[in-house]
Amino acid sequence: MSDRSSIEWTEATWNPVTGCTQVSPGCAHCYAKTFAERFRGVPGHPYEVGFDLTLRPERVDQPLEWKRPRLIFVNSMSDLFHEDVSLSFIQSVFETMQAARWHTFQVLTKRADRLAEIASALPWPENVWMGVSVENQRWVSRIDALRRTPAAVKFLSCEPLLGSLTLDLSCIDWVIVGGESGRGARPMRLEWARTIRDQCVDADIPFFFKQWGAHDEAGIRRAKSANGRELDGRTWDELPVRAARGDERLLRSAE
């Protein structure tokens, strides 16, 4: 199974770990937890244990079976750098990404301190993009931890965006912004998204506006589909693409 994804900035998901625990305000209405807990106690279901952290060693080699190159979001249903995931297991996931060189892997974590702590023990092939979640100004320190890794592409996911952000974008290759969806979703203000977009434009950093979520730009709750993905009258679908010779960005898929 290719686990094709409806997430706008990727093509497929790969979950060698499922389940997680909350670490910051961005976790409060976690879509993955809401989904997994629906199946707690259902015999034989992949989420029979709900959102309890679970290692899935039988899935570690899964991308090697997918022959068509694709963008793959790693652990959409967990956090690979959770404190209860062993270093040896994380290394096995990275070794698969290194071997599956025809894919591009997008790894995202809120546990940036652990990421920085063990980064030197991991292989970092160019097809691994490493990102951190930054939902408000309180958590911008995660970006400093990301910068300490040797990842070829470093990115930020400001989703759900819960406040205004002033960002140091040095050594950052991509920024994603999105509002929150689901029950209890908190609105994202227009000026928050605009400010990040403008910082990216000024720094020549690719910007991806994923969605408004459950509230439109005026803060009115509506159907997610009705709110759409436009910011100031256009979609922003920029992706980072590195030239083979190094840092040069060859990008801008949505001018």
Pairing of strands 174-178, 207-211: parallel
Asked whether residue 239 is domain-assigned, the answer is: no
Q: Where in the sequence is the domain holding 101, given as residue range(s)?
A: 12-227
pLDDT at 251 over 50: no
Asked whether residue 2 is domain-assigned, the answer is: no
What pLDDT score does 253 carry?
37
- The answer to whether the beta carbons of residues 235 and 208 sit under 8 Å apart is no
pLDDT at 250 over 80: no
Asked whether residue 145 is domain-assigned, the answer is: yes
Going from the C-alpha of 248 to that of each of 241, 245, 251, the distances in angstroms are 8, 8, 9
- Counted domains in the chain: 1
What pLDDT score does 4 carry?
83
Asked whether residue 217 is domain-assigned, the answer is: yes
pTM above 0.75, yes or no: yes
Asked whether residue 211 is domain-assigned, the answer is: yes
> pLDDT tens digit string along 139-173?
999 999 999 999 999 999 999 999 999 999 999 99
Residue 75's Cβ-side half-sphere holds a number of Cα atoms within 13 Å equal to: 28
Asked whether residue 44 is domain-assigned, the answer is: yes
Model confidence at 242, pLDDT cuts 50, 70, 90, reads low
> pLDDT tens digit string along 35-88?
999 999 999 999 999 999 999 999 999 999 999 999 999 999 999 999 999 999
Asked whether residue 46 is domain-assigned, the answer is: yes
